Amino acid sequence: MRILLIALPVFAMLASPAHATGGFVCRTASEPAIAIALGFGHTAGSALFATRLQVDGRDVPVEVPQWWLDDSELRLVLTDPQANERLAVVKAVRRGDAYDGSVLYQGRHHWIRCRES
* Structure confidence by residue, pLDDT tens digits, 36-72: 999 887 666 666 777 899 999 999 999 998 888 888 9
93-114 burial by CB neighbour count: b if 16+ within 10 A, else e?
Answer: eeeeeebebebbbeeeebebeb
Q: Is the pLDDT of residue 5 over 90?
A: no
- Per-residue pLDDT of 78-103, as tens digits, reads 999 999 999 999 999 999 999 999 99
Give the pLDDT confidence score for residue 79 in this predicted structure. Answer: 94
Q: Report the distance separating Cα 76 and Cα 12, nearest Å.
A: 36
Rg (CA), the chain: 19
Q: Report the distance separating Cα 107 and Cα 43, nearest Å.
A: 34
Give the pLDDT confidence score for residue 57 in this predicted structure. Answer: 95
Mean pLDDT score of the chain:
84
Give the pLDDT confidence score for residue 75 in this predicted structure. Answer: 94
Give the pLDDT confidence score for residue 95 in this predicted structure. Answer: 96
